[in-house]
Amino acid sequence: MAEHKHTTLVEQPEPLVSPKETYGSITDKIAGDVLSTKTPKAMMITLAITSALLLVFVLAVGAVLLFGPGVWGNNNPVGWAFEITNFVWWVGIGHAGTLISAILLLLHQHWRNAINRFAEAMTLFAVMCAGLFPALHTGRQWLDYWLLPYPNTMGMWVNFRSPLIWDVFAVTTYLTVSFMFWFVGLIPDLAAMRDRAKKHWQKVIYGILAMGWRGSAHHWHRYEMSYLLLAGLATPLVVSVHSVVSFDFAVSLIPGWHATIFPPYFVAGAIYSGFAMVITLMIPARRWYKLESFITDRHLDYMAKVMLATGLIVFYGYLTELFFAYYSGSMYERFMMYNRIFGPYWWSYWLLIFCNGVTPQVLWFKKVRTNVALLFVISLIVNVGMWLERFVIVVTSLHRDFLPSSWDMFRPTIWDWSLYLGTIGFFVWLIYVFVRVMPMISIFEIKHLLPWRGRKIDTSADAA
Amino acid sequence: MAQIFHPSMRVISRASILAFLLVVGFIGWVCWDLYRSGYFTDVNVPKEQPIPFSHEHHVNGLGISCGYCHTSVEKAAFAGIPPTHTCMTCHSQIWTGAAMLEPVRASYRTQRPLEWVRVHDLPDFAYFNHSIHVNKGMACQVCHGNVNAMPLMRRTSPLQMAWCLDCHRAPEKYIRPVEEIYNFDYVPPKDQLAFGKELVKKYNVQVKQLTDCSVCHR
Amino acid sequence: MNFFTKRPDIYGLMAEFDAPEKLLAGAERAKRAGYREMDAFTPFPMEELTDALGIRHTKLSLFVLCCGLTGMLVGFFFQYWVAVIDYPLNIGGRPLNSWPQWIPVTFELTILFSAFGAVVGMIFRNGLPRPVHPVFNVDRFELATKDRFFLCIEAIDPLFDKEKTRKFLESLKPDHITVVEHVHTKDPYHQGED
Amino acid sequence: MIEKNVDIQTVRRTLAGKGGKEYWRSLNELAETEEFKEYLRQEFPREAGTWGEEFSRRDFLKVMGASLSLAGLTACVKQPDEKIVPYVKAPEYMVPGKPLQYATAFVMGGYAHGVLVTSHLGRPTHIQGNADHPASLGATDVFATASLLHLYDPDRSQAVVHNGVMSSWEKFVQSAKPLIEAQRALKGAGLRILTQNITSPTLHWQLQSLLAAFPDARWHQYEPFNADNVRDGMRMLFGEDVMPRYRFDRADVVLSLDADVFGLGPGNVRYARDFATKRRVSGKDASMNRLYAAESTPTITGGMADHRFRMKASDVEVFARALAARLGVPGVAAEHLPVDETVIVALAKDLQSHRGAGVLVVGAHQPPVVHALAHAMNVLLGNAGTTVEYTDPVEQQPVHHLRSLQALADDMARGAVDVLLILGGNPVYDAPADLRFGELLAKVRFSVHLSLYDDETSERCTWHIPESHYLETWSDARAFDGTATIMQPLILPLYATKSAHELLDELFGEARSSEVIVKSFWKTRSAASDFESWWRRSLHDGVVPATHLSPKSVAMKNVSWTFTPVVSGGMEILFRPDPSIFDGRFANNGWLQELPKHVTRITWDNVALLSPATMENLNVRNGDMVTVTYNGATVKLPAWALPGQPDNVVTLHVGYGRTRAGRVGTGIGANAYTLRTSATLWRGEGATIEKTGEWYRVASTQEHWSMEGRPIVREATLDEYRVNPDFAKHMAHRPTEKESFYPPFVYDGYAWGMTIDLNACTGCNACMIACQSENNIPVVGKKQVERGREMHWIRVDRYYVGNDLDNPEMAVMPVACHHCENAPCEPVCPVAATTHDHEGLNVMTYNRCVGTRYCSNNCPYKVRRYNYLQYSDTETKSLQLMHNPDVTVRNRGVMEKCTYCVQRISAARIEAKKEDRLIRDGEIVTACEAACPVQAITFGDINDKNSRVAKLKAEPRSYDLLAEVNTKPRTSYLAKLRNPNPELAAVQPLSRSEHHG
């Protein structure tokens, strides 16, 4: 390493960390934001809204536990509706974190260092929200543990042929691995927090969580290896999780579900929505906590590029679906596509094309990619679009399948909306808690990006 | 920088991880055992009955066969609980003044049935049929235990699905000739498995079907 | 450190630098000087130190591979056992051993076991949790997670000599040199100046 | 028939001891009484455990806990102790746990329908047809099966009411006796008795002796849907009081003149069966009957037709005249034609070429002259005596119902009625509106209403006496062909109720029990030397020997025809009984309310049925609230487009808008009786319809009418079939074994399967109700049906065929679980709650189900039903007595579906195994199969090549629905055939079958 020629960051279009930052200033800024008792005013206002949504969430969960899934609008042809739409939507959002942490790490995308912590936390919370839906959507929620293969007095096991069991394994594995990834990444920062904390109880809590991390070179060596291995493992995992989620549909025989394109198309969609959600959350966080030094416009630019790329894949997926429906020669498939486009839920399809297919095209322009306000709006549109995509897949496929006699409409109830909005409240609330107690940017990884004599930081490979 | 933690934390921190694993394991073990325990299954827990009826006395002492009182055991799903009338066939003659038997007489007088507490109680979604079991050589004793030695009736089997499956997967382990179903002194032959397999064939028991869900659940 | 060998009076000597390149240079010199039982403490990983300190390459990946293979075998054969041996059921006319449908769970368990291996292996091999450690006695050691870089030569090193080693460290031009006391020598809550 | 249980008396005493009006209107209070709980525990020991008092009402924990305790042993709640209650003295014939069947008869409109009632430990749980009974031949219609629910209906009247206040039978008798004695002195001049149509020989006997003692008393009969027109028509033509009876099993050409012979009315089940015998097509040169229907409002009979001519009800007469003129009925000339002349020509030709093998039937609502015309044609065509038989009326004393009621109303208006006994019926609700029967009742000093429910009429009478359900009492009745059945009770009255026999005997006789009365009547009739064995035999068989009416020979009079003047223009209004709740008497029957109505598939409401063109003219859409004004009265109800409805005709089904039906039937729909007057009992001209601007959500179970070009109901004409018998198999690609990724499972024992003959199915819904009763299927209510959550395990899909929206052809298709060998539902269930057994059943283990609904999503037939909420009523105690104990009652969150009646299969398998034999073909009869009037459903072992089902599956017409998705269903269909008249090809297109790859 030492023999590498010294390069300065000036050659880069824009450094990934503002040149005015030092090791000390980075630590003080990020750790200080957590330890400070001050919370940005805008955050307090949104927190109030979020808390109200959290209350709605509690009510909505209570209602479905008490009375059953009948409080929702689901019916006989449409056995799954909002709950599975939301599940897939949240799982998709939960893909950004691990992707940023793992895949970008393997691809030596250094810019990830500024956003991976936040994205990982977002992943965890999104997957938690996602996991709620399958758990709540069963009719007898108190028996959900029957989906786990454990020895019981019935002598019964689960049915490993069911994609729902694959889901159980995929989502719990994903949650566990994401948690471990996030936690392992946090250990050095927890030690930093421990060492910055003023109050004894803070020191104790961060101290316990840091497990006595002392920054030993021996430890760092194994740590880096472990982190790399986790990244290597998480990469196929992240691809598998949404593939498995897509199997929920692809394995069935319902036209509109039964499609071999689903796994890649779902994974791309997941990344797409995940990045959209990261942008949605990062932009206000960056502003309220004044993190422009770490999350630079270049970061936003890159994220927007990833969104554009995945958005194009997703759009390609929509076109493929059209082609498949035509080329299959099956009257059921053809009708399904016709029904999506011109049926009673036509608006959801067209809106989805607008949100996911048309809107991201503006990201071709750098001016748009670096316009924070515009990017924020686009990310919201993509979030909505990705929700609509799942709605279209779940509901419009089910509501008119093989026998026209069974066709029916799905009409959401207040509880459908409550639970959906409630989980958003739950999610944002968790994000707030996270922001207040944990460093939302990885301190040590940002430091890693600062050059020093003897080491250059080559971010030239950082191109989305 | 000062040490944040007391030196003992060195041990405690590691021990706590171990302890956590142990506690989780322990809870698992408790659950496993609890669901199989008498507390949950009522195995060997006699229930309070309106009359302390002794099967031991009536079966061993008096030599009354099961079918005398449980009349429909060979005919119907339900083995049958004897009507008060059956009790009174004898007890109008003997022990006519016994205080213990007053509820029986009262029942006969007032035409109000006796209310027994069910000892062998399957959940309502499990459809057990006595007649097919006894007609295919599954003795009373196999499930109900040595009733002839029970002063008070109690369960000897957990009546859990896994327990049912044990026999439904391999009836040859327990099957005996139909003539022996009421015999509490029956001694299975040394080669029970081979003998049992023969009986299974003889009685045309379709073993592979016995673990079909529809056999017990409708 | 062997249980039977006598424990040195102190844990070691610690030098503090204000820049990573100084630590790196110091570590390289210490290694050349023959020190082996030493450690560096940095606020972020410095891959260069692995060679500079002569740290043995970890075998974590092999361990993770073993875990992964275990997960895979457990996953597949558990499913096989459940569906074919323990409770064979005709489910939708699919064969009992419909192995293609077992791939997802097998895969997930492979990953899960591997990831556990990677994390537990790292934590375990690093000797964590270790909330109490002699280096925490060092006065300015909290800066090791901020912007200071520490080099500690431990007393168990055969070349270690309180005076000679201090001299050697001074030659590295650190900002501070501190004696690292054992944890037990003093009441950890009332440690005096060093 | 059942062991006398002392506790009924206790319950009754408790009931009698309570006062106040609310009490008997709400069952909650009753449910709270210790006595009632005790009684139920004893009657139904298995249920006792779930009624623990440890949970308080409406408590979150209770809901959870109750569900948990039902969830089973593995949940974290210990199973509570249960009581087991033996008999004091066991009845000899009863083996606990083995159901028994008793023959009796269900009576509607006076006509008996022989049934066999299944009884579990003294509780009637299921009603099916009596194969020995001529009106049933083993099948039922929806009403007969659903009548079981009335027995257990918690809203049933349970106490005597005097002027709205709770009273007692003793008090009633006390106050009635002096009045009766006073009437005796007046020879009964102020005594009137109003009944429904009576065929009961015993009741007639009682009434005759009463009238002998009170010669000036009068007995009136009224049914809102009666045979007045038929009777008048017969008198017009033959000059005597005869009634026609049809022999469709002998008819090759049938013309229905607005008659729903297979849907409603006496003999419908038998007629459908006879008709279907001519539709069982097999072999290359098979023949099949041909049905023409000249119809106003579409019915299932019209739906079966090979040619259906849509016309106003008033035009049916014109049509009949044209045909009669063409056929040469003396004195008849055609006026104008409601149809193309080729129709009349071809129809006349077809009928003429099938002399003695054709038949014309007329709807009871058509005026007498149409009946006369049709039967004149029947006589001319030589059909009389072969396909039509004329017999004496079944009624002991046939009357003109309308005139009978009018006479009573006149007497009441005059104040000549002092004592009025209304035995059954609900005239305040269903009498013609112009009679103002309810107001007239105020002029009667002492009016008594004996009825099952405390209804609109009860409210207006001074006394209401709760009536015993027919399963609680003895009686008798005669079938459409005269065959008498002695009806025996299966259970002691649940409440202090009386039968009509008992009421009359108490007031005018010796206060004997129904049993004694009925038995003493038949003692006078039986010619048997050994009465007791004759009696036992009659009870056992469910038919009294030698009571069948023999055909009479009749002679046509020289009729001078007077036809109804044709009024053109204006909106024609038709009053029809509701296909599900009839004239309103079944309004409180949840099963029937939730039963999708014939043709419209609407539940829980009545609507204004209009043709699509009329809808367009009125600028209304489905669900738009309209007011229908006629005869000065107005009803408001939603408009509904019905293809096949004639233009400018609005059809209203009566039976809704009840104000005192019970919790189920009160306040739903609109009361069309308010528009129905004596002069316009069946139809009228000049109704006005106005749009209100409101919209109303109608709960329809089927929202889409078209098959979208999919090969669902596959049909061809008979001629096409002869050329290409396996046409149906070629309408979709069926994957071969080689195309499958997996090897097939081998079924080497029994392999249960089913066929449904679409050529026979009329879409009468009998299977749906039979299934609901057999399998403890809950009623979910209108709101849930609206949401698309109805629970019927078997449904009847209705499609329209052809591109004429105004007059399409109809195709019906019963769909239940297909028990696919490659069931798509099973692999997706995460907990293996739905699996296959070794006999090929797709079994659903409810107690294992956690309710993900994935199976339902993945079912291409959408036959799985999900308990979105707690639909099973676990609170109402009386309804629990109705449950079939052999079928698990499903709770919230559990998926359910057709099981092929696995409980019946299990029972048969166990019996066969005990006897060391194989199950015989036909030994297992599923509930739907048993109920089916046309025997369209056949169930059996498809591995047994000699079984009926295997033979039917070998028929070339057999096809699998959605075979192209390779589900390998065990249920298959026999394709539908139509037999159009080639001479009508120009009027109606012929070809049916589309060929796909």
The residue in chain B having the minimum alpha-carbon distance to the alpha carbon of residue A157 is B162
Contacts of A152 in chain D (CB under 8 A): 74
Per DSSP, D289 falls in state: -
**Among B4, B13, B165, beta carbon nearest to A155:** B165
A449 closest CA partner among A5, A56, A9, A3: A9
**Among A156, A214, A222, beta carbon nearest to C58:** A222
Helix (H, G, I), strand (E, B) or coil at D15: helix
Helix (H, G, I), strand (E, B) or coil at D915: coil
C-alpha span between A281 and A100 (Å, rounded): 15
Helix (H, G, I), strand (E, B) or coil at D247: coil
Q: Which pLDDT does position D990 carry in this prediction?
A: 46
> For chains B and C, what is the number of CB pairs under 8 angstroms?
47
End-to-end CA distance of chain A: 26
Q: Among residues 35-94 of chain D, which lie with CB inside 8 Å of chain C?
A: none
Q: Is B174 exposed, middle or buried (0-12, 13-18, 19+ CB in 10 A)?
A: middle
Would you state the structure tokens that stand for residue B76, as one six-digit string? 């119907």
Chains in contact with C, where contact means 3 or more Cβ–Cβ distances below 8 Å, are A, B, D
Residues 6+ apart with CB under 8 A from A233: A177, C64, C68, C111, C114, C115, C118
Q: Contact D862/A156, CB-based, under 8 Å?
A: no
Mutate to test the interface with B, among D899, D914, D924, D970 (most CBs of B within 10 A): D914
C-alpha span between B35 and B29 (Å, rounded): 10
Chains in contact with A, where contact means 3 or more Cβ–Cβ distances below 8 Å, are B, C, D
Contacts of C93 in chain D (CB under 8 A): 742, 744-745, 820-823, 836, 968
The torsion angles phi and psi of D195, rounded to 5 degrees, stand at -125, 175
Neighbours of D191 (CB within 10 A): 27
Q: Contact B7/C142, CB-based, under 8 Å?
A: no
pLDDT (tens digit, 9 = 90+) per residue, C128-166?
A: 888 889 889 888 888 999 889 999 999 888 888 888 888
The residue type found at D660 is R
Chain B nearest CA to C67, separation (Å): 19
Q: Contact A162/D893, CB-based, under 8 Å?
A: no
Q: Are B89 and B58 in contact (CB under 8 A)?
A: no
Q: Are D937 and D756 in contact (CB under 8 A)?
A: yes
Q: What is the mean predicted confidence (pLDDT) over A213-218?
A: 91
Q: Peptide bond preceding D244: is omega within 30 degrees of 0, i.e. cis? A: no
Would you state the structure tokens that stand for residue D143, as one six-digit string? 């009403």
Q: Which pLDDT does position D955 carry in this prediction?
A: 92
Q: What DSSP string describes D875-890? A: S-HHHHHTS-TTSPPP
Residue B123 Cα distances to B120, C164, D49, angstroms: 10, 82, 10
Q: Where are the alpha helices (DSSP H) in D396-546?
A: 401-414, 427-430, 437-441, 456-460, 500-508, 514-525, 531-541
Chain B nearest CA to A30, separation (Å): 21
The residue in chain B having the minimum alpha-carbon distance to the alpha carbon of residue C183 is B7
Q: Which pLDDT does position D402 carry in this prediction?
A: 94
Mutate to test the interface with C, among A148, A226, A230 (most CBs of C within 10 A): A226
C-alpha span between D564 and D681 (Å, rounded): 15
Q: Which pLDDT does position D3 carry in this prediction?
A: 34
Q: Contact C92/D824, CB-based, under 8 Å?
A: yes
C-alpha span between D292 and D290 (Å, rounded): 7
Q: Is D299 exposed, middle or buried (0-12, 13-18, 19+ CB in 10 A)?
A: buried
pLDDT (tens digit, 9 = 90+) per residue, B50-86?
A: 888 999 999 988 889 898 899 889 988 888 888 888 8
C-alpha span between A297 and A371 (Å, rounded): 8
Contacts of B3 in chain A (CB under 8 A): none
Owner of token pair 């060679």 = C51
A187 closest CA partner among C166, D764, D478, C44: C44
Per DSSP, D941 falls in state: E
Q: Contact B160/A153, CB-based, under 8 Å?
A: yes
C-alpha span between D780 and D604 (Å, rounded): 11
Would you state the structure tokens that stand for residue D786, as one six-digit string? 């609206």
End-to-end CA distance of chain C: 25
Given a cut of 50, the residues of chain C with pLDDT beneath it are 1, 185-194
Mutate to test the interface with D, among B120, B213, B215, B216 (most CBs of D within 10 A): B213
D291 closest CA partner among D278, D282, D273, D281: D278
Task: Report residue D833 CA to chain centroid gap.
Answer: 34
Given a cut of 50, the residues of chain D with pLDDT beneath it are 1-76, 990-997
Chain B nearest CA to C65, separation (Å): 24
**Among A153, A155, A156, beta carbon nearest to B36:** A153
D324 closest CA partner among D348, D296, D293: D348
**Among B47, B127, B209, beta carbon nearest to D838:** B209
Chain C nearest CA to A215, separation (Å): 5
Question: For residue A64, is pLDDT > 60?
Answer: yes
Q: Which pLDDT does position D560 carry in this prediction?
A: 86
Does D743 reach chain C within 8 Å, measured CB to CB?
yes
Residue D474 Cα distances to B75, B157, D152, D520, D521, angstroms: 31, 48, 18, 12, 12
Q: Contact C90/D968, CB-based, under 8 Å?
A: no
- Which long-range contacts link D907-912 to residues 24+ away (Cβ below 8 Å)? D909/D750, D910/B129, D910/B131, D910/B132
Q: Is D225 exposed, middle or buried (0-12, 13-18, 19+ CB in 10 A)?
A: buried
Helix (H, G, I), strand (E, B) or coil at D161: strand
Q: Are D886 and D907 in contact (CB under 8 A)?
A: yes
**Among C82, C119, C147, beta carbon nearest to A27:** C147
Q: Contact B162/A204, CB-based, under 8 Å?
A: no
C-alpha span between D473 and D465 (Å, rounded): 15
Whole-number mean pLDDT of chain A? Answer: 89
Q: Are D364 and D258 in contact (CB under 8 A)?
A: no
- Angle A414-437/A23-35 helices, nearest 10 degrees? 130
C-alpha span between C153 and C161 (Å, rounded): 10
Does B15 reach chain C within 8 Å, measured CB to CB?
no
Does A191 reach chain C within 8 Å, measured CB to CB?
yes
Query: Beta strands D683-695 and D571-576: pairing type?
Result: antiparallel
The residue in chain B having the minimum alpha-carbon distance to the alpha carbon of residue D98 is B76
Chain C nearest CA to A178, separation (Å): 10
Residue A136 Cα distances to A90, D35, D68, angstroms: 14, 40, 16
Q: Are D836 and D826 in contact (CB under 8 A)?
A: yes
Q: Where are the alpha helices (DSSP H) in D884-987?
A: 902-914, 927-931, 948-953
Chain B nearest CA to C138, separation (Å): 6
C36 closest CA partner among C124, C157, C138, C184: C157
Contacts of A204 in chain B (CB under 8 A): 4-5
Helix (H, G, I), strand (E, B) or coil at D441: helix
C-alpha span between D69 and D75 (Å, rounded): 8
Q: Contact C132/B10, CB-based, under 8 Å?
A: yes
Q: What DSSP string describes D53-81? A: TTS-TT-HHHHHHHHHHHH-TTSSSPPPP
Does B18 reach chain C within 8 Å, measured CB to CB?
no
Q: Which pLDDT does position A77 carry in this prediction?
A: 92
End-to-end CA distance of chain B: 71
The residue type found at D406 is Q
Q: Which pLDDT does position A461 carry in this prediction?
A: 55
Per DSSP, D498 falls in state: B
Contacts of D74 in chain A (CB under 8 A): 152-154
A173 closest CA partner among C102, C63, C67, C114: C114
Contacts of B166 in chain C (CB under 8 A): none
Residue D356 Cα distances to D350, D351, D380, D778, angstroms: 12, 9, 9, 48
Chain A nearest CA to B98, separation (Å): 44
Q: Which pLDDT does position D17 carry in this prediction?
A: 43
Residues 6+ apart with CB under 8 A from D430: D224, D583, D584, D654, D673
**Among C60, C87, C104, beta carbon nearest to A225:** C60
C-alpha span between D543 and D476 (Å, rounded): 10
Q: Among residues 33-92 of chain B, which lie with CB inside 8 Å of chain C?
A: none
Does B113 reach chain D within 8 Å, measured CB to CB?
yes
Does C95 reach chain D within 8 Å, measured CB to CB?
yes
Q: Could you tell me if residue A160 is left (phi over 0), alpha (psi between -120 and 50 degrees) or otherwise beta?
A: alpha
Would you state the structure tokens that stand for residue B207, as one six-digit string? 């073993």
Q: Which pLDDT does position B95 carry in this prediction?
A: 85
C-alpha span between A102 and C115 (Å, rounded): 13
Q: Which pLDDT does position D7 carry in this prediction?
A: 41
Q: Which pLDDT does position A99 carry in this prediction?
A: 81
Chain D nearest CA to B58, separation (Å): 19
Chain B nearest CA to D931, separation (Å): 21
Our CA angle for A216, A221, A224, nearest 5°, is 115
